[in-house]
Amino acid sequence: MHYNSLNHQSPIVDFKTATIKGQAPDKGLYFPEYIPKFPVGFIDNINIYSKEEIAFTAIQPFVGDSIPAIVLEQIVAETVNFNFPLVKVTDQISSLELFHGPTLAFKDVGARFMSRCLGYFVQGNNQPITVLVATSGDTGGAVASGFYDVEGVNVVILYPSGKVSSVQELQLTTLGKNIKAIEVEGNFDDCQNMVKQAFADEALNKALFLTSANSINVARWLPQQFYYLYAYQQWVDKTNHPVICVPSGNFGNICAGLVAHLQGLPIKHFIAAVNSNDSVAKYIANGLYQSQQAVSTISNAMDVGNPSNFIRILELFGNEYPVIKNIMSSYSISDDETKATLKRVNENTGYLTDPHGAVAFAALEKYLHIHSLEKGIFLETAHPVKFYDVVEPIIGQKVEVPISIKEILEKEKISVKMKAEYGLLKEYLIEEN
């Protein structure tokens, strides 16, 4: 499999190069040169396959010759070594729980897969690779956990001091070993700018082998297909295919679902649930796309004004607005509606969602209201405890703390405090390596 840059000004590359580089030299996103089809009988017989076999079958064509099958089997097995249960919430609505990984959010799968691929690619290099990443919350924890103890890879995570939840901060700062956390005295944009300056600094890039672990990397994007296959495997009524609703920010997750669908996975319809950051919802409504300034909401992992993966969705469907509108709907849900939904679902069904899951639940309900014979799945992308500061006041009670979080709450935070100045980051990176 080869990958083209969507800006079309860079040479085609294999999976290995696309993973190491992250972004093409012309700043475009890498995109597979074709979308394969699942093997004959794979979907019809999906119930007989293990989750490892499903993941391997889905990802192998995209990896191609870059990783031998026996190594890829091992990588895939370590990527999906937790559960992805489909839980019935109402007669019409089920939840696909994607929060059973080590950092309790769905980004674990992409981060675990990418880290292990990079670890394989740098084997035998005499220079370690440094993964530099800015985080507003969930990405940092998933990347820290995914890359922890991967040989030949150092990780430096920048996060805005005082602006991530306490659980998120502990997930970044308590691992040690090859994971370093820098606490920037500024906001997320400051962190992001420092990282961007590092990538643009030629002298630094001569001295260090730098790469990024952000969500546009194909090795983080493509394994997210697995969720949709696991959802379908657990779907009982295979004669009435589900609609799937995805809480979306950068649109990487839903875009991976659309890739699975184009390979032959029977999903009746996709719904992109967004908060007040509604540039894609507006596009679906009227065919015009305009990027926005991001606004803050209680589902903060989706506070994205100009989703980077939207261009991949356009590409998947040849930029045909009517085709996209036919396969995907989108609903924007306000914070008030999110809170009301979270509370109501908890009271009526006993099921507790996190704020992102509540946005998806509300959007799915709206769709099913006008398509009353259909049934749907929403992706529950994070455990509610990750957002207990938002969730507890809404439901008026404590959220149960899972064991993995209890352990982390007792650990000691280790971070380097830094003013938001690129010169300081550069000094640090050169000294540490």
Ligand X SMILES: *Cc1c(COP(=O)(O)O)cnc(C)c1O
Return residues touching ligand X (CB under 6 A): 105, 107, 138, 215, 247-253, 301-302, 356, 381-382
- Can you give the three-state secondary structure of 133-177, one letter per residue? EECCCHHHHHHHHHHCCCCCEEEEEEEECCCCCHHHHHHHHCCCC
Nearer to ligand X, 382 or 429 (CB): 382
Count of Cβ atoms closer than 10 Å to residue 137 Cβ: 26
CA distance 15 to 62: 7
Nearer to ligand X, 107 or 261 (CB): 107
**Shortest Å distance, C-beta 302 to ligand X:** 5
Residue with tokens 């085709």: 323
User: Cα torsion for 393, 396, 397, 400, to the nearest 10°?
Assistant: -50
Pairing of strands 153-160, 129-134: parallel
**Shortest Å distance, C-beta 120 to ligand X:** 24
**Shortest Å distance, C-beta 215 to ligand X:** 6
What does each C-alpha distance from 156 to 147, 148, 187, 305 come to in angstroms? 11, 11, 17, 26
Q: Would you state the structure tokens that stand for residue 117, as one six-digit string?
A: 């691929």
Nearer to ligand X, 105 or 368 (CB): 105
Nearer to ligand X, 110 or 242 (CB): 110
Q: Would you state the structure tokens that stand for residue 195, as one six-digit string?
A: 């990282």
**Shortest Å distance, C-beta 404 to ligand X:** 16
Residue with tokens 């031998």: 68
CA distance 132 to 182: 11
Q: In sequence order, which residues have a C-beta less than 8 Å from that of residue 79 and are 6 or more positions away?
A: 55, 109, 112, 113, 116, 223
**Shortest Å distance, C-beta 214 to ligand X:** 10
**Shortest Å distance, C-beta 87 to ligand X:** 17
Cβ proximity of 42 and 218 under 8 Å: no
CA atoms within 13 A on the CB side of 95: 25
**Shortest Å distance, C-beta 191 to ligand X:** 16
**Shortest Å distance, C-beta 280 to ligand X:** 10
Cβ proximity of 10 and 21 under 8 Å: no
Nearer to ligand X, 108 or 183 (CB): 108
Nearer to ligand X, 105 or 231 (CB): 105
Nearer to ligand X, 13 or 273 (CB): 273
Cβ proximity of 284 and 325 under 8 Å: yes
Nearer to ligand X, 302 or 429 (CB): 302
Nearer to ligand X, 79 or 130 (CB): 79
Nearer to ligand X, 152 or 247 (CB): 247
Residue ranges of alpha helices (H) inside 154-308 are: 166-173, 188-200, 202-207, 218-221, 225-234, 252-262, 279-286
DSSP string computed for 333-379: --HHHHHHHHHHHHHHH-PPPPHHHHHHHHHHHHHHHHSTT--EEEE
**Shortest Å distance, C-beta 40 to ligand X:** 30
**Shortest Å distance, C-beta 301 to ligand X:** 3
| Listed residue (83, 233, 198, 172) closest to 432, CA to CA | 198
